[in-house]
Structure 1
Amino acid sequence: MKINKPYKHIHFIGIKGVGMAPLAILAKEAGFTVTGCDIPEEFITDDALRKSAIVPLNYFSKDHLIGVDLVITTGAHGGFDNPEVGEAKQEKIQVLTQGEAVGYFMSGEPISRTDIQGISVAGTHGKTTTTAMIATLLSNIDASYVVGTSALIPLGLPGHYGKGSYFVAEADEYVTEPTYDKTAKFLWQHPKFIVITNIEYDHPDVYSSIDDVMVAFVKFVRQLPKDGILVACGDDHQVRNLLKQYSGKTITYGFSSNNDYVIKRVNISGHQTFFWLTGLGGADLGEFVLRVSGEHNALNAAASIVVALECGLPIEVIRRTMHAFGGVKRRFEFLGTLPNGALLYDDYAHHPTEIKKTLSTFKKRFLNKKIVCIFQPHTYSRTKKLFEDFCRSFIDADTVVVVNIYSSLREKPDDSVSSLRLAQAISSRHRNVHFLETTHDVVEYITKKQFGEETVVVLMGAGDIYKVGAHVSLKASE
């Protein structure tokens, strides 16, 4: 993708999306005039946009394009069929999808820079947290970054334009535009580093099998330049299959002793994770302390440490900065304490593997408490295709509550699958399962149950289940 025109005013269609808002924030910091539109509904990124003095227009109109010379659009809200996109094309205004735009900024072209080196983080699970960790580490050298969330701790905003030469971005395997362009989004990125956390089957609306997913990942890693580096989790079966098809420089990490970087002696205490790491040649890199829980976060941290070392950061700077990292919005996020003492958390997990790992972490973190998982499935296609896997994912929950499916704007309802059927199927393996229709019902359920100090309530899913937290009574912070 080569674009030879300098732009001044960028308009984002669907600006509230977790992939779009960080890019808009980065663009504004880079000196562009930024406008955007979306639906009026309050969304998770609204606060980040407000802090960046970006005020979305809450409707779509051709009039929004006055003075605009570049449009960036999302696959939601009609995608290429959105009236603003149609008008932009008619007026010969350049239109890029979100995936193309990330690659465009990573190239350095829109900001007239030739020193940019991209770092792309891919994988079915863990890419948001890993991207955030790398961004936090490389904030020491003022890297640019776009992270698919609404807030990072302690960095704050999910997008940043820096003076440093590194550009860190999530690399999504989903397609560019479901109707018109089946190119995997990450293929628009041409980084020097690619991190792959794991590979599993997901996005059944656009990939028919794990083989199709693998084809996309193989294409991606083969885009690395001759001096490029692939950082990959050697513990993952599909990642190992991928490595057999790539001949460039590779650095592996994981728990297995066969990896280049090996995680040892993981201990979880409270909200902290302690682990030890050995590096190339068995070098002892010492102990690292994270302020986020879980063995999966030790893996995410190991990948981030490898990248930071390859970028030249001293190990003690890495150790200190890793300890400062406090997570990202909607990942094991503590919302507060309910009136009778129960703890309320929110988590983005929406794939069976993520659910299982997240609940396992909650169980280990709260050994003597009961876990109530309130799960909102995300998309009909994923729920249908991975139905049996979902049924096996809640083993570490004492109570499971399933809420109606949150449909993607890209899909139509499918009567052949439902949350009620999922709840019934889970109940064949689990003794305490309930079905609720709406998030309003969830608020009433939590309020009436009066969960006490022996309980942890976890809101889970990639839809709007997180909004429940704003509608239940919480104790004032002490």
Structure 2
Amino acid sequence: MMTILDSATAVHFIGIGGSGVSAIARLMLHRGARVSGSDLHESATLDELRTAGASIFIGHRAGNLPPDVDLVVYTIAAGDDNPELVKARELGVACRSYPEALGIVSEGMFTIAVSGTHGKTTTTAMIGKLLQDAGLDPTVIVGSPMLHAKSNLVVGKSKYLVAEACEYRRSFLNLKPNILVITNIDRDHLDYYKDLADIQSAFVELASRLGPRGILIVPTAHPNLAPIVATSVAMVVDYEESARMTNRLKLCLPGAHNQLNAQAAATVGTALKISPQVIKRSLRSFRGTKRRLEYKGHTPEGVVIYDDYGHAPAEVRATLSALRELFPLKHLTVVFQPHLFSRTKLLLGEFAGSFVEADHVIVADIYAAREMEDTSIHAKDLVSAINARTPSRALYMSDFKTIPALLKNGELRTDIFLTLGAGSIGMLADALVLGGIPTMG
């Protein structure tokens, strides 16, 4: 049956530079549709979309809508007062959110959805590559560019769809998966969810969409997953149990968390009857995704630079633990940009205890993203909380333009330098490797 994405000839994307929206834009370009879109800031993603044929506008204005547009896809970060969305609705143009568009893509496909508070991007990419290497020719949609594919989208010709399924605002309920992977459940997105029980209720509803013929792949011992496992009518497979029954997988990526991600992917492969040899070979050659413990290079002074998207306490701990596995005796400096005032405020104590593997922590201003400024919480509060545990470990820095000079003249001495956070902090890593001056503060 033809969907609205199949029939659309001119599609406009609001927030086209976003990790999910850009994947749908690439898909529509591949299908031959005329694509336009807007975003607030320039980015490498926008440059790639322009090269592929999209018309891009910086800033949101009603005039950005093409006169012949027949579909608008928008980020869920766009408010109802977004001028492009308002204009499209006034004109009677069909409008779909990114999660709705992803759900439409999945219609009629054998959908493997990967969800969970942490690890879903890497696990999705691993599964996508595994199906590719097994000759199953999947379509893959991931929240970060896969290093092996150099994109957040792989367009396949088979029935298989591998998709990252985000829990924010219950977005993943637009999917009806055949196989569902849940990596873990933790307190997050507390600007939307009331508490952990509210988060769990969303996952229970998602798992219920599997039906009795579906497969639920989870770490059953994870206490926060108990309500999901208890209520599921699908076949439940414990990927941690599978890990205990097999040898440690050989991976390019360090970290115990990546071992678990790989075991989840391997369990999907087994469910699809992919041979153990193909599974091991595929996972061994997986190089990761952008901004997930991504090696960026060296500064002119020889400091090793890594960048990571981690923005929750468990992710911070996992990333630092993985770097310590790689560099047990090296001096490690972290620049952390907290993401969201609400998350920083509600999880302040957990954040403070998550930097134990770092020698020094530089804390940047909180990246507001979709939130209004909250003066009751500041980056300095996190610095104080970290230093209350280990005196002089952390300091606050609002301007990163001095960091290249500090590294060059030796005032900032370190062997490993990690930029960490879901905001704009990755630009600092790029600037350090290139020997330039960061443009963000």
The TM-score with structure 2 as length reference comes to: 0.92
Distance across 2 between alignment mates of 1:377 and 1:360: 19
Letter in 1 for 2:61: S
2:372 to 404, 412, 417: 412
Distance across 2 between alignment mates of 1:470 and 1:253: 36
Match of 2:19 in 1: 18
| Pairing 1:356-375 to 2, within 5 Å after superposition | 356-375=317-336
Letter in 2 for 1:81: D
Q: Give unpaired runs (5+ residues) of structure 2.
A: 436-441
Offset of 1:236 from its aligned partner?
Answer: 1.8
User: What percent identity do the matched residue pairs reach?
Assistant: 34
1:253 to 228, 236, 239: 239
| Pairing 1:315-326 to 2, within 5 Å after superposition | 315-326=276-287
Distance across 2 between alignment mates of 1:132 and 1:439: 32
> How many residues end up aligned between the 2 structures?
430
The answer on 1:99 being equivalent to 2:99 is yes
Structure 1 or 2: larger strand share?
Answer: 1
Offset of 1:227 from its aligned partner?
Answer: 1.3
Confirm or deny: 8 A CA contact 1:123 1:196 kept in the other structure.
yes
Q: CA RMSD in A?
A: 2.1
Match of 1:162 in 2: 156
Offset of 1:34 from its aligned partner?
Answer: 1.9
Q: Deviations over 1:83-133 (max 9, x none)?
A: 1111111111110111111111111xxxxxx4x111110000000000111
1:458 to 397, 401, 418: 418
Distance across 1 between alignment mates of 2:412 and 2:57: 40
Provide closer, same or farther for how the CA distance between residues 208 and 29 of structure 1 changes in structure 2, counting only shifts above 3 A.
same
Letter in 2 for 1:194: L
Secondary structure, counterpart of 2:7 in structure 1: coil
Confirm or deny: 8 A CA contact 2:204 2:232 kept in the other structure.
yes
Q: Deviations over 1:444-464 (max 9, x none)?
A: 544444656x61111000000
Distance across 2 between alignment mates of 1:147 and 1:160: 9
Q: Give unpaired runs (5+ residues) of structure 1.
A: 108-113, 176-183, 264-276, 279-285
Match of 2:439 in 1: none
Provide closer, same or farther for how the CA distance between residues 327 and 225 of structure 1 changes in structure 2, counting only shifts above 3 A.
same
Match of 1:179 in 2: none
Q: Deviations over 1:1-56 (max 9, x none)?
A: x96683222211110011211121122223332221112x2335335435534342
The answer on 1:242 being equivalent to 2:228 is yes
Distance across 1 between alignment mates of 2:193 and 2:122: 24
Offset of 1:312 from its aligned partner?
Answer: 3.0
Distance across 2 between alignment mates of 1:44 and 1:416: 34
Confirm or deny: 8 A CA contact 1:443 1:468 kept in the other structure.
no
Structure 1 or 2: larger helix share?
Answer: 2
Confirm or deny: 8 A CA contact 1:27 1:161 kept in the other structure.
no
Provide closer, same or farther for how the CA distance between residues 74 and 413 of structure 1 changes in structure 2, counting only shifts above 3 A.
same
Match of 1:141 in 2: 136
Letter in 2 for 1:201: R
Match of 1:424 in 2: 384
Q: Deviations over 1:196-227 (max 9, x none)?
A: 00000101110121011011110110011331
Secondary structure, counterpart of 1:120 in structure 2: strand
Distance across 2 between alignment mates of 1:441 and 1:388: 29
Confirm or deny: 8 A CA contact 1:20 1:74 kept in the other structure.
yes
Confirm or deny: 8 A CA contact 2:212 2:233 kept in the other structure.
no
Provide closer, same or farther for how the CA distance between residues 412 and 396 of structure 1 changes in structure 2, counting only shifts above 3 A.
same
Match of 1:300 in 2: 261
The answer on 1:214 being equivalent to 2:200 is yes
